């Protein structure tokens, strides 16, 4: 009987401790990372808004079991990628809004949370562009907050973003001449 009481007290204590962590942990899942990269805004925008290129530079490309399906016209709203893999699980990403200095993407990981990813491109000069990659996972359910905080989810995503920046920059540097995206075409036409 004494052992059951001790186990009960320990479980109640652990439950209270976890509830306190959930109370103190961030209530949302927002991550943002930025980097100054060598290349033009157009070339980075091209790599980001054509999902056919993501398997070259994406920090999540290492799941060799993953399969991908693409739909829609690259560099435009509605272009999408659907994936399925052992490590990646199932999900999809679609360009909701395409702009010359920003792109909005909707993400679906099969959960009941809305996810949005934002990209911002600010050309510093003819050699460098500031690129920002932001993830907004919305409000976390109360009991998930502690788990995500203990797991270090925000730090892991930010680390993945930094790896993605490095590989995106390398891909841009080694890519052959890229086709013009809609923003560059409009710029050349003086629109």
- The number of domains in the chain is 1
In this predicted structure, what is the pLDDT of residue 181? 60
Domain residues for the domain of 169 are: 2-188
* Cβ–Cβ under 8 Å, residues 101 and 120: yes
Task: CATH number of the domain at 46, please.
Answer: 3.30.530.20
Instruction: Find how far residue 126's CA is from the centre of its chain.
Output: 27
Per-residue pLDDT of the chain (191 residues; tens, 9 = 90+): 778 777 776 777 677 776 777 676 777 778 899 999 998 888 898 889 999 988 889 998 888 898 999 999 998 899 999 999 888 888 899 999 988 889 999 988 876 666 899 999 999 988 999 999 998 877 777 777 777 777 777 888 888 999 999 999 998 888 766 666 666 655 544 44
**Closest C-alpha to 74, from 88, 94, 101:** 94
pTM: 0.79
Question: Which two structure tokens, joined as six digits, stand for 27?
Answer: 């209530």
In this predicted structure, what is the pLDDT of residue 4? 75
In this predicted structure, what is the pLDDT of residue 190? 46
């Amino acid at each position: 009987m004494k052992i059951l009481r001790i186990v009960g007290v320990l479980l109640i204590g652990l439950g209270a401790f976890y509830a306190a962590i959930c109370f103190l942990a961030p209530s949302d899942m927002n991550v943002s990372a930025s980097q100054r990269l060598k290349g033009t805004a157009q070339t980075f925008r091209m790599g980001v808004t054509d999902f056919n290129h993501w398997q070259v530079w994406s920090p999540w490309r290492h799941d060799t079991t993953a399969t991908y399906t693409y739909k829609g016209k690259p560099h435009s709203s509605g272009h999408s990628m659907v994936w399925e893999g052992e490590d990646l699980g199932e999900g999809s990403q679609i360009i909701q809004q395409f702009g010359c200095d920003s792109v909005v993407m909707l993400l679906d990981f099969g959960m009941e949370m809305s996810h949005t990813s934002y990209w911002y491109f600010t050309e510093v000069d003819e050699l460098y562009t500031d690129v920002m990659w932001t993830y907004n996972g919305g409000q976390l359910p109360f009991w998930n907050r502690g788990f995500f905080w203990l797991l270090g989810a925000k730090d892991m995503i930010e680390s993945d973003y930094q790896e993605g920046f490095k590989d995106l920059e390398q891909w841009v540097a080694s890519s052959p001449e890229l086709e013009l995206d809609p923003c560059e075409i409009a710029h050349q036409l003086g629109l």
